[in-house]
Structure 1
Amino acid sequence: MIHPSYSVLIVDDTPEDRMMYRRFLAHDPDASYTFREAGSADEGLALCREQAPDIVLIDFILPDEDGLNLLESLLAEFGSARFAILMLTGTGSEDVAVEAMKRGAHDYMVKSVALEQRLIIAIHSALGKVALEQKIEQQRLDLEASNQRLQDALGAQQASADQLRLALRAAQMVTWEWDIPSRSLQWSAGFEERVGVSPDVLGGDFERFFGLLAPEYRELTQQRLEQAIVSGTLDEIEFRVHAPDGGIIWMSASGYLQHDAQGAPKRLIGIVMDITARKQAELELRQREHEYKMLVENAPDIIARFNSDLQHIYVSPTVSRATGMPKEAFLGKTNRELGMPDAQCDLWDVNLSAVFATGQPRRMEFDFQTPEGLHYYQATIVPERSADGTIETVMSVARDITDYKTVERHLRFLADSSVGLAGSLDPLAMLTHVAKSAIAYYGEACTIDLADQNEIRAVAIAHHDPNIVAAFTEMRQRYPVRAESSHPVAQVLKHGQTLVVDTIPQHIFTDNTYDSEHVRMLHALQPASFLMVPLIVRGRAVGVIGLYALGTPRHYSHDDLTTLEELSRRVALALDNAQLYQEAQEALREREAFISIASHEIKNPLTSLLGRAQMLQRRLARLPDPGRAQDDAEIIVSQGMRINSLLTDLLDVSRLASEQLTITRKRLELTELVRNAVANLQASSPNYRIALTAEDSPLWLEGDAGRIDQMLLNLLGNAIKYSPECGIVYVDVRAVQNTAQIAIRDEGVGIPADALPHLFKRFYRVSRASVQQVSGSGIGLYVVNQIVQGHGGTISVASTEGVGSTFTVQIPLTQ
C-alpha cells in the first residue's frame, strides 16, 4: 500500500526539539515526511516563500518574535487553506492556546513525553481540515468563475442584440422571399456566409429547404408560415438546420405578407439570421446556472438570501438538516415569524440591517439547537447589488463551527486543569483542582482514586451538589474499593486501560456491594454511566480518574474520551513530578543534616587542635632561636583557622537550608562594630592597609552583633584576598536616608560582568583564571547575603576587571 508523503517545515530554535519531531513523525504508519528546518520566524517565512510546505510546526517562543506573529504572517500571505499549521510550546497556557486557535492555527500542543501519538493524530486532523478548506475555497472560486462566465454570456448576448440592430439599420441581414403560388424560395446576397448553405444547393425549391430543417421543427415551421399567410405577419421563429457538413445551425426568421392587386397572398418576405452562437451561450448559461445551483444546494454551509424586510427569499437545503424544517417553510418569512428565540432574532436583525445600511460585510457567531444537539455557527453576511449599485438583497453563508468550538472548549478545560497542576506540588491540592475542573467541563460527578499497595483511596470527589459529594465520600469511606475485586476502578488499575460504560449493567452493582446499606447508598446516588481512565506513571497504573452520570445514562463521545485521556497523561506527569520533588527535598534534608552533624563532629577536635597549636606557637616564641618550628606552627594555626571558618560557613549554609539560622536582635551601634572588625583584620594583615571613613554621629540599629561581625570579616577578608600586595582597602560608613550604609572598596582584580548576577548564589565561584588562583569555598558571599537579608537589608556589588570592586550593604536604622 502506497502512503502519502508530506513536506514538513519545523520552525523551532531548539535542535533537540526539531530532532524530536522528526523522530516522532518517522513512526507514523500512514504517511511519510520530508523535512526542512528554520531556527527563527524570519527564516521560516523565507522558506515558505521559497517552497510552500504541506505542514508547518511552529514553536511558540522564537528568538526574533513569538510564534503567534509568525502564524499571523503566514495566514496573511498564504491564506488558511494553503497548509496545516500546528503551534507547539514547552509550557501550556490557556490564553496562548485560545489565541492560537482564534488566529487560525489548526491545533495547539504542549511538548511532553506523550506528544508523539498526539502529534501524529493532530497532523492528520489538520491535513483533513486543510483539505476541506481547500475544497470549499475551490468551490468558491468555481462559483465566482461561473458567475463571471454568466456575466460574460449576458454581455455577449447584449452585444449580439446590439449587432443585430446595427445590421438591420445597415441592411446587412440575409433576406428571403417565398413566392406562395409557385412555392419558390429566393435568398439575398450573403446567404452562404450567414446560413452556411449555398442557394444553389436548394435551387429555389421550398421543399428542398424544408428538407434541411431538423425533423422536429418542420411541422411547427409549416404551421407558423400558414398562420403568417392568414395574419399577415411572421413573428420570430427559431429552428435548427442540418448543414451539409453534418453540423447544426440555429436560425431565427421573421417577416411579413405581401398581397397582389386582387388582395390575394402573393409572397412572404423577411430576414433570417444565424443564432447558433446565441443558442450556445444560452445553453452554456443554463449549464452554469445548473452548476451554481448544484454547488449551492449541496454545499455544507447554510446559504440564505434576504430582502429589505429581512424575509427569506432563498435558503439552501442544508437548512433542513439543521432545523428539521423544509426549506419552503422559510420563504417569505422573517426569523421572528419562524419562531426563533428572541435573542437570535435580535442578533440577526441587527446584522442584516447593518449590511443593508452600510453595504459592508458583517460576521457573527451564534448557536442553534439542531435535531443532533447544540451546534455553533459562524455567519458571513454580504450585500448583493443591482447594476446601478443599489443593495437589493443580502446573502448569508453560515458555517458549522461546532468542531472548532469543541476543540476550543477542550483546550480551555485542559488549560484550566493544567493551571492547577502547575500551581502546586501537593498531590491532594492538584487532584482536587482537577476534579472540580472536570465537573465544570463535563457537568457530572468526578472521583480520583490512587492505589497504595493493596489499598485504593478516593483522594478527590467533586460534584455541583455538596450533598452528593458528602454521600459519595461517606460511601467510599465506609465501603472502600478492594484491589482484588471486579469493581471497575480496580479493573482499570489492574489492566491500565480506559473503561467506558454508557449504561451500567446490574451485575456490576451486585458483584461489588458489601451489604444492604451499601446497596441503599448506591441506589440513592443513581449512577447510570461512567467513563474511567488510568493514571499511568512510568508504565504503572497508579490511579483512576472517573466520571459518573447520575440518574440519566449518557453516551460518552470520542472527544470526551480523548480529552479525559489527555488530562490523565498531564495528571500522571504532575504526580510523578510531585513525587520526584518530595524525594529531592528529602535528599536535601538528609544532606544538610549530614553536613551539620559532620561539621559539628569536626569542629570539636579542631578547636582542641587549634588551642594546642596556639599554645605551641607561644612557647616557641619564647625560645631564643625557634628556627623553622616557629614557621610551621604559624602555618598550622593559619590553616586551622581557615578550616574553622569554612566549617562555620558550612554550618550556616546548613542552618539556612533548614531555616534554623538565628538572628538575635539587640540595639547596637554599627560604626563601633566596623572599627573593631577593621582593627582585628588590620592586625592579622600587616602587609595591607585598611582606610576607614566614618561619620561622627552614631548609627543605631537592631541587629545581631556576632552575625554583622561575621559579615564584615567576610567582606573585608575577600577585599584583602583579591587586592595586590601592599594594597589599600577603603571602608566607608555613613547614614543614607533611613539606612546605615557600609561600602567596602578594593583595587584588586575585579569581577567579570557576566559573573555579577550569580555572585551571591550558594557555592558559586567565578571561573576566570585570575580569580581562581585565590582559594575559596563559594559560600561566604551566600552567607553574607542571607545575614544582610535577615536584618532587612540589601547588598549590591559594582566591579570593573583590572580596577577593583565595591560591595555596598544597607541596613535599616532604628527609628
Structure 2
Amino acid sequence: MIYHPIKILLVEDNPGDVLLLQETLADLTSIELDWVPVERLTMAIDRLAGEDFDVILLDLVLPDSRGLDTLLQIQARAPRTPIVVLTGMTDENMALQAVQAGAQDYLVKGQASGSDLLVRSIRYAIERKRIEATLQQRERQFRTLTENAPDVIARFDRQLRHLYVNSAVVEVTGFSVGDFLGKSNREMGMAVDRVERWEEILRQVFSTGLPISTEFEFLTPTGVRYFQSRCVPEFAIDGSVESVLTISRDLSDLKQAERKIREQAALIDISPDAIVVCDLDNRILVWNQGAAQIYGWTAAEILGTDAGLLFRQQPSPQLATALQAVLESGRWQGEANKIAKNGGEIWVSSRWKLLRNEADEPYAILTIDRDITAQKQLETQLLRTQRLESLGTLAGGIAHDLNNVLTPILAAAQLLPLKLPDLSEQDRRLLKILEDSSKRGAHMVKQILTFARGLEGELVPLELGELLMELGETIQSTLPKSIEIDLQLPKADLWLVSANATHLYQVFLNFCVNARDAMPNGGKLRICAENRLIDETYAQMNLDAKVGAYVVVTFADTGTGIAPAHIDRIFEPFFTTKPLGEGTGLGLSTAMGIIRNHGGFVTVSSEIGRGTEFQVFLPVIATTTALPVAIPELPSGRGELILIVDDESNIRQMLKITLESYNYQTISASNGVEAIAAYAIDRDRIAVVVLDLMMPLMDGTTAIRALQQLNVGRQMKIIACSGLVPSHSLRQMPEVKAFLSKPFTAEDLLNTVHRVIWQP
C-alpha cells in the first residue's frame, strides 16, 4: 500500500479531460493525490526540470508536440518516472507503439472515467517502473561484478550457445566477446572429445537443475588453456531452467606450476645424490630416491625423523659444527661420515644451504650428499700402502738396532754357563730364561725384517699344486674337527711361479691359523687356486695389480669377520684384535712382506658374521716359451651390439677394445642419462647392456628402472658391474642377468657376455 501522496504531472491540453480526471478521483479516500496539470510539452519539461513526480499522465497530441516524439522527449527528461499514455478512441495503435517505446501503460480517454481503473493503472505503472529500475540496478551490479571479475563468466541457452560472456574471456582466450555470442563451444573449436563432455554437463544442469563443477581444456590462439568451471542453473518464472551460468577459472598457470613441480620432483628423485630438506629443528621434510639408495631408509620411514640422531649412533660434533656454520653464513660444504640403515659407514661430500621464505626468514636447510665411499676406499688403500712402506722402513731400522742389542745378550747367556761351571741350578735356570727370551726377541726381529724387506732366499720355479696338497694334509690333521676343509685345485696344472716354497708355506699356514681363530665354534675353510689373467681393466681398479698372468690362491672362512674399522690396519705390524698374550700382530704383516717380495699382492674382503676371504696373487714366471697350461680360448661374438655404460673413460675404452677385438659391436655412454638416450635409439639392436652401478647424474639402479620403462613387453639383458657387493633389490631385478665384481678381467667379461646372450 502507498501511504505518501502520489504526485501526478498531468500533461493534457483539453480542460474538459483534465476536469473529468480530477473529478473522477476526487472522492477517493484510500489515497491522496497531488495534481500538477500542464497544457504543453514545454511546460511539462520545465516542471520536470525542477520537480520530481511519481507518475506522468501524458496526452500524445499537444499543441506543441504530436505522436511518439512527445513520449521520447518526456522520457529523456525523466527516464526514471513511469508514464501512462492518454489516448483517444482512434489513437489506440499509437498508444500501443508508445508502450513498446517505454511507456508503462495507456488509457483510452473514454474508458478512463472509472476511478478504480485509473488508480490501478497509476499504481501498476509506478510499481512496474520501480521493478524495472530495480532490475536495471541489479543488471548494472551484475555487469560491474562480472566485467571486473578475473574469471570467465558466461551464460548458455538451451541450445548451448553463449548468451553472455564477460570481458575476461578476451585476456584469457584471445577471442573477442563478439566471437562467442550466439555460438557454442563446439563452434568455437573445442576438441570433439572434450566438447562432448562439456555439452553433457550443460545438459545435465538443464535437466536436473543442480550445479556441477568440472575441469576442461579450451584451444585458444595462444595454445591450450585449462579451466575449472562451476555450472549453475538459472530458473524461469515457471521453475524451469532457463539458462546456465558458468564461472570458469583459468588454471593454466597453476597446471604449468604443478607440472614444473612434478618435473623438479622427478629430477630430484632421479638424482643419485641424496637430497634432503630439514626444518630448523632438524626434522626431515624432503627425502629423495637418491637418499633412499645411499642410506637405505625409504621416505615413508624417514620423514619427520631427527636427522642428527638418524645418521649417527650418537650426536656428531662434526654435524653440529656444520649446522652452526650454515645458520651463521647460509652455506657449508665439506666431507662427512654417516651411518646407513644397515649400520655401515658412508662417506659423503656434503653441501648445505639455508632456505629462506618470502620474508627472508630462515625456515629449512637443504642438504645434498654425494656418496664418495668408493673414492675414500681407494684413498685409504693408497694411504695404507704408503703407511706400510713407511712402517717397513722404520721397522727395518729398529730391527737392525734391536739385533745389535740382542746379540751380546744372547751370546752372554750362552757363554756364562761355560765360564762359570759352578753356578747353582737356580742361576742356570735364570740364564736359560734369558737365552730363550733373547731367541724369542731375535725371532720377532726376523719377522719385522720380513715385513720390511721380505725374506731372503732363493726363488725357484714352483707349481703350487703340490704345496697346497701338503698344506691341506697338515691342516686336516691339526685344525679342530669342527672345521670343514674344502680344498679345490684345478684339473689342469697351475702355472709356474717364482717362489720360495718354505716362505709361501709359512704365509699360507698363517692364513689357515687366522681362519681357525675366527671360527671358535667351527665352520668351513675353503682353499682354492686358479690361473688368472689380469688385464688393464682390472689393473686400473686395483693399485697393487699389474697387467699379466697370475696364480691366485684363495682362503675363505665362515668365521666372525673383520670389523670395517679394523680391516685397513690388519697388515700393520703389531696390530691385533686377539686378547693379550694370544698374538703378536706380526703374522699378516710378515705374510704381506713375503708376498711383496715375490712380486705379488693380497686382497681382503670381509663381512661381520659372514666370514673373511683373502686372495694371494702371485705373478707367473715370464718366459719366452708357452705357459705350462694353455690359456683357454675366449668366446667370440657374432656382431652383437653391446651398450657400455661407465663414468670412467679408461674403463669404457678397455671394455670397448676387448669386446670389439672379439667380434662385438659397441656403443658407449658415460652416465645413466646418456645410456637411456642411446638405448632409446638402438633398443631393437642392443643385445646386452654392461652397466656400472656407481655413476654421477643417474646411478646404475635408477638407470635400470628407466630402461625398464623404455622396454615394456620386451626382453632386456643387463650385466651389472660394481666394486661393492650388489644389493638384494638389484639381484631381484629380472633384467639383471649377471653381476661382474670390479676389478674383473677380459676373460670374465667375455665369458659373462657370451653366457648372458645365449642363456634362454
Normalised TM-score (structure 1): 0.33
Higher relative contact order (CA 8 A, sep 6+): 2
Normalised TM-score (structure 2): 0.35
